[in-house]
Chain A
């Protein structure tokens, strides 16, 4: 596609429920990143994929968080047993590694609210 897309754009869920967030990166981009941004805060790195593998999972805040990427394209971020502190905007970005300049292109984000 023309840009990074994410779905859903907004998600309201009850505490304890599981949620799945989807990211469709720009076609051909091998690198995919997930970030979390709380209101008025900076970007918190969650996980990075190179192809289908995740060489860096260091940012996942707990074992309730997991992510996968299949076919080197679409990625899903899953949050199990959601907590109120999980409420944030979850941003996905993709980039094409290979050149000396790595520009990340961000999706519009998924706004998650846990009640």
Chain B
């Protein structure tokens, strides 16, 4: 079967760094994506990794290790507006599979 695992909740302090992990099991692999969703809003694209290593986009970075079927999203200099749910998604074969999401709580 195909599955993605990510923590259901993570809590961090404003200004700090937080890492959200994602492990996957899919038939075929073409890339790992991360999406952000604020309450009441639609998911929006954050990053994409097709090759091993770290991709950096401003305060957000995403890492992939295909040999470990593992990736993570790294958020630096946390701001209150970063409070949201974060979904990892893997493209395998003909479709994209989403994880159940990680709810990020940020404390002032």
A48-72 interface with B by 8 A CB criterion: 48, 50, 55-56
Partner of A56, one of B31, B95, B98, B99: B95
Q: Is B101 positioned at the interface, with any CB of A under 8 Å from its CB?
A: yes
The docked-state distance in angstroms from the alpha carbon of A33 to that of B99 is: 16
The docked-state distance in angstroms from the alpha carbon of A100 to that of B51 is: 11
Q: How many of A's residues come within 8 Å of B, CB to CB?
A: 22
Residues of A within 8 Å of B48, CB to CB, are: 101-103
Tally of contacts, chain A with chain B, CB under 8 A: 56
The answer to whether A41 and B91 touch (CB under 8 A), given A101-B50, A105-B45, is no
The docked-state distance in angstroms from the alpha carbon of A102 to that of B33 is: 9
The answer to whether A106 and B87 touch (CB under 8 A), given A55-B94, A101-B31, is no
Contact between A42 and B99, CB atoms less than 8 A apart: yes
Q: Is B105 positioned at the interface, with any CB of A under 8 Å from its CB?
A: no
The docked-state distance in angstroms from the alpha carbon of A43 to that of B33 is: 14
* B102 and chain A: residue at smallest CB distance: A42
Residues of A within 8 Å of B50, CB to CB, are: 100-101
Contact between B33 and A56, CB atoms less than 8 A apart: no
Q: Is B16 positioned at the interface, with any CB of A under 8 Å from its CB?
A: no
Q: Is B25 positioned at the interface, with any CB of A under 8 Å from its CB?
A: no
Residues of B within 8 Å of A50, CB to CB, are: 94
- Per-position 1/0 for A85-110, Cβ under 8 A of B: 00000010100000011111111110
> Which of B's residues lie within 8 Å of A, judged by CB?
30-31, 33, 35, 41-45, 48, 50, 87, 89, 91, 94-101
* Further pairs besides A50-B94, A91-B43, A105-B45: 16, Cβ < 8 Å: A42-B98, A42-B99, A45-B97, A55-B94, A56-B95, A91-B42, A93-B43, A100-B30, A102-B30, A102-B31, A103-B33, A104-B45, A104-B89, A106-B43, A106-B44, A107-B42
Q: Can you list 25 A-B contacts (CB < 8 A)?
A: A35-B98, A42-B87, A42-B100, A42-B101, A43-B98, A45-B95, A45-B98, A50-B94, A55-B94, A56-B94, A56-B95, A91-B43, A93-B43, A100-B30, A101-B31, A102-B30, A102-B31, A102-B48, A102-B91, A104-B45, A104-B89, A104-B96, A106-B44, A108-B41, A108-B42
